[in-house]
Structure 1
Amino acid sequence: MTIKGTPLAGVLQSPEEPGTVSPIYDHWLSVTGAVGRYVPLTIRPDDLGDVMRLLPKIGFVGLNITGPFQHMILEHADIITDRAALMSGANTIIFRPDRKIHADNTDGYGFIENIRQHAPGWNPKAGPAAVFGAGRTAREVVTALLEVGVDEIRIANRTRPRAEALRSEFGMRIVVHDWVKAGNILDGAMTVVNATPLGARGKPEMRVPLDALARGAVVNDLVVNPPMTRLLSAAIEAGCYPVDGVGMMLYQAAPSFERWFGHKPEVDQAARHAVLSQFSE
């Protein structure tokens, strides 16, 4: 696997949760002319410490982190950014030249940047936000929304205690609603986010009533495949600003690529096509 003098990066995943390796890094390596390789790494959680010590020695400059490793990786980091600490997990590792392990989380940045690029007039203070879901992705969304000044975040999750846990941690700006009345969180909400897998290919459809979508709201579905979901179709019909999940994937990946390989990648139509191409094969 090692090529002398070639910087290596990869995605760390567990055997229980193997994921699809995004082609975006190979795309950016090709179009920027950066020297490097991006590879998948599947390891057991018990081997994490040994792997983290080994990888820099064989030419790795960084990692993407998935699943259960996002929290575990913090135990092995020398430097943890405020963003990673706040989210209790890292999605990006940089192996620094001084051999220190730098842990960061770019998901919140990717989420906000995607909205700003596709809904340039978005004002996070324009009204409440409505978030479907209360898992790790929802936590990242909530953290990012609070940072940009959203005054009220309504959360509906199929398991209410997970939503209550977010309110306990983040305070009274979080308002929890029962899932059976999830459609109610849309009333007057000017930012709407689906942070669940509902509506993704192979998953159950999102059956939440959407008739309360407010005209002019920004509606972001973090589902990537398919990029056009029932929620986004309803948003278009309601006169909302639809934002799909592909952009978040790209904008969270761009800072990692730049840190690892020293080239700033473009988030453009070619990059978007590179991501979507994996679902058409």
Structure 2
Amino acid sequence: MSGSVKKAAITGHPVTHSRSPLVHGYWLKKHGIAGEYGRVDVPPETAEDFYRNFADAGLSGANVTVPNKEVAAAACDWLDDAAKSMGAANTIWLDDSGRLCGANTDGLGFLGNLDQLAPGWDVSRESAVVLGAGGAARAVVWALLSRKFTRVHIVNRTFKKAKAIADMFGSGTIAHEWDNLGTVLEEADLLVNTTSLGMAGKAPLEIDLSPLPKTAIVTDAVYAPLETDLLRSAKARGNQTVDGLGMLLHQAVPAFERWFGVRPEVDDTLRNLILADLGVTA
């Protein structure tokens, strides 16, 4: 990437298969913006130095993916509330004074996806069940609390990790052992899988959905395959389902606006472009 145009990139390790360049490239072309978006592989052993000296990278900003989100946040001079809450940044940029600023838009991506594909999903919703206790779980818990869910149940096979998230966010978040899943499903208005279970090449997510009310919405952070076994099973029993692709697309919106000055839309053309890259027909 060269020249005087604004440049951004996906950073992390590995980044070879990231679809972020497709997403941002589509928006750059659609809006006729003279900008570039590429990939910069940043292994963990060099990550601290890279983000501390981000101004030397020749980039206006960047996305940050695993395993570097926490390191990037620590290197920032300013963080938004979401990044502060999660201790992780997925979007960084240099402001006019040269400060490195960071945000976490993963939670906004989660909300944007549901707002678009299940309008009104958060009306009169009280109880959510979140499966998993990694970075995606933290983002989803933050998002649900921002929409005033009164109870967010975090269920994970390693209880200590679920407890750490509950302690992080405090009131309204409750950690559970995996064996308690059936009980918490009984009152769920929303079920969210943030684990990698069910992803192509991973073990399946095997849970009994029979306690889940038919009125509950089920969504999955996994987007390859687009319809996971969880979503297929939920749909078969009459639950409304939302796939995880939109979370990837919507988290990119505020980042693009920050770097290039235009707020893009997640439209059908973009969604179909990514589905084609995944080898899935719309």
Counterpart for residue 161 of structure 2:
162
SS at 1:75's partner residue? helix
Code of the aligned partner of 1:144? A
| Kept after mapping to 2: 8 A contact 1:6/1:59 | no
Counterpart for residue 206 of structure 1:
205
Counterpart for residue 21 of structure 1:
18
Counterpart for residue 241 of structure 1:
240
Counterpart for residue 144 of structure 2:
145
| Kept after mapping to 2: 8 A contact 1:128/1:188 | yes
Q: Which segment drifts farther, 177-186 or 233-242?
A: 177-186
Identity of aligned residues (%): 36
Cα offset for 1:46? 4.1
d(CA) in 1 for partners of 2:44, 2:198: 30
Q: Which runs of 5+ in 1 are unaligned?
A: none
d(CA) in 2 for partners of 1:18, 1:28: 20
Q: Which segment drifts farther, 17-26 or 81-90?
A: 17-26
d(CA) in 2 for partners of 1:54, 1:172: 37
Code of the aligned partner of 2:136? T
- Structure 1 residues 237, 62: closer, same or farther in 2, change over 3 A? same
- Structure 1 residues 197, 96: closer, same or farther in 2, change over 3 A? same
- Structure 1 residues 200, 46: closer, same or farther in 2, change over 3 A? closer
Counterpart for residue 102 of structure 1:
101
| Kept after mapping to 2: 8 A contact 1:92/1:105 | yes
SS at 1:232's partner residue? helix
- Structure 1 residues 171, 52: closer, same or farther in 2, change over 3 A? closer
- Structure 1 residues 239, 8: closer, same or farther in 2, change over 3 A? same
d(CA) in 1 for partners of 2:51, 2:228: 38
d(CA) in 2 for partners of 1:158, 1:50: 34
Cα offset for 1:203? 0.7
| Kept after mapping to 2: 8 A contact 1:213/1:235 | no
| Kept after mapping to 1: 8 A contact 2:28/2:35 | yes
| Kept after mapping to 2: 8 A contact 1:124/1:145 | no
- Structure 1 residues 174, 277: closer, same or farther in 2, change over 3 A? same
Cα offset for 1:160? 1.3
d(CA) in 2 for partners of 1:50, 1:207: 41
Query: Normalization by structure 1: what TM-score?
Result: 0.92
- Structure 1 residues 191, 57: closer, same or farther in 2, change over 3 A? same
Equivalent residues in 2 for 1:242-261, closer than 5 Å: 242-261=241-260
| Kept after mapping to 2: 8 A contact 1:11/1:65 | yes
Code of the aligned partner of 2:137? A
Q: Which runs of 5+ in 2 are unaligned?
A: none
Code of the aligned partner of 1:35? A
d(CA) in 1 for partners of 2:183, 2:167: 21
Cα offset for 1:184? 3.2
Deviation string, structure 1 residues 145-190 (Cα, Å, up to 9, x no partner): 1121111112211111111212222235223332234333321200
SS at 1:225's partner residue? coil
Residues paired across the two proteins, number:
278
d(CA) in 2 for partners of 1:122, 1:104: 25
- Structure 1 residues 18, 59: closer, same or farther in 2, change over 3 A? closer
Counterpart for residue 9 of structure 2:
10
Cα offset for 1:94? 1.2
Equivalent residues in 2 for 1:75-224, closer than 5 Å: 75-123=74-122, 125-224=124-223
Code of the aligned partner of 1:80? L
SS at 2:60's partner residue? strand
| Kept after mapping to 1: 8 A contact 2:128/2:189 | yes
Q: Which segment drifts farther, 217-226 or 176-185?
A: 176-185
Query: Normalization by structure 2: what TM-score?
Result: 0.91
d(CA) in 1 for partners of 2:169, 2:57: 41
| Kept after mapping to 2: 8 A contact 1:125/1:149 | no
SS at 2:278's partner residue? coil
| Kept after mapping to 2: 8 A contact 1:62/1:260 | yes
SS at 2:227's partner residue? coil
d(CA) in 2 for partners of 1:232, 1:101: 39
Cα offset for 1:85? 0.4
